[in-house]
Amino acid sequence: MTDPDEAALLAAIIAAPADDTPRLVYADWLQEQAADATCGECDAGRVFGRDVQSLRPAGAWHTCRRCGGSGRLSDGRAGRAEFIRVQCELAALNDRHRRGDATPADAERLEALRRREGQLTMTVYPREIWPTFDWLRGLGINPDACTLDSRGGWIAAVTCDAAVWIAHGDAIRARHPVTAVRLTTAPEVGWVPPAHGRDGYFAFARDPAARRITWAEYRAGCAAHAPPGEPDPSASEYNPDVGVLLACRFGGGVAFEVPPG
């Protein structure tokens, strides 16, 4: 497959967050494309005087711990493919466990998958199989300021402050099928009254897209997103339901949890 094929596979994953099939198809594509690369940590499998984990004297040649002395490494695609498959199977088994219909064999398999997930995340080339942290830094986001929960190889839930999400939520959702966002601070939102024949609108402070949410859009959002049986959150322009406004701003399919303003 070519890069346009990869882009189409990724778009299918973003469009169907609850469906593991596009993820597994992408994992198969990664496995097909996997290749070896030269180890950048050693000289043909040897490291000079840097084997700090051993008691061998500095200044001697030691076997490279990263490549095991072969001088070659996987390019990370096979590991990423395995990570996606492991997380997809984990999600399915966790769902079965929550429903109460898991078998003893499922419980054993679940533990084995959790161990393998930890190995892949922490020890088996984490930058290749989970490249998100470097990508976040590229956006100017400190990964330590966010809590990321993954499912099926991609970010599924984000916890961060409102300023980070308002500034970067579009970029994050363009790359990851996020379905839940928990904000640790309340976003700043203002209401601009109607004037000179123009509709009034809501807008989030420091929104790079400068997205305007009209009163009509907000009312439609209330009907679609407000919990049933609760008071109408659209009763006042100056006391709106911020969760509904976030859903209007960033599109459907995401559940927002917002602290009181």
Q: Is the pLDDT at 207 greater than 70, yes or no?
A: yes
* Residue that wins the pLDDT comparison between 240 and 162: 162
Residue 206: band (very low, low, confident or very high) from pLDDT cuts 50, 70, 90: very high
According to the model, what pLDDT value does residue 139 have?
80
> Within a 13 Å sphere around the CA of 193, how many CA atoms are in the beta-carbon half?
3
Give, in order, the Cα–Cα distances in Å from 123 to each of 61, 65, 116, 126, 235. 23, 12, 10, 6, 53
Is pTM beyond 0.85? Reply is no
- Which residues, including other chains, have CB under 8 Å from residue 78's CB and lie 6 or more apart? 30, 31, 34
Per-residue pLDDT of 81-110, as tens digits, reads 999 999 999 999 998 888 888 888 988 999
Q: Structural domain boundaries of the chain?
A: 3-35+75-130, 131-261
Residues 144, 203, 176, 222, CA torsion sign: positive
**Which of 3, 24, 17 lies closest to 175 in space, CA to CA?**
17
Per-residue pLDDT of 56-84, as tens digits, reads 454 455 666 666 667 667 777 888 899 99
According to the model, what pLDDT value does residue 184 have?
95
Locate 193 and state its tokens.
Answer: 């009254």
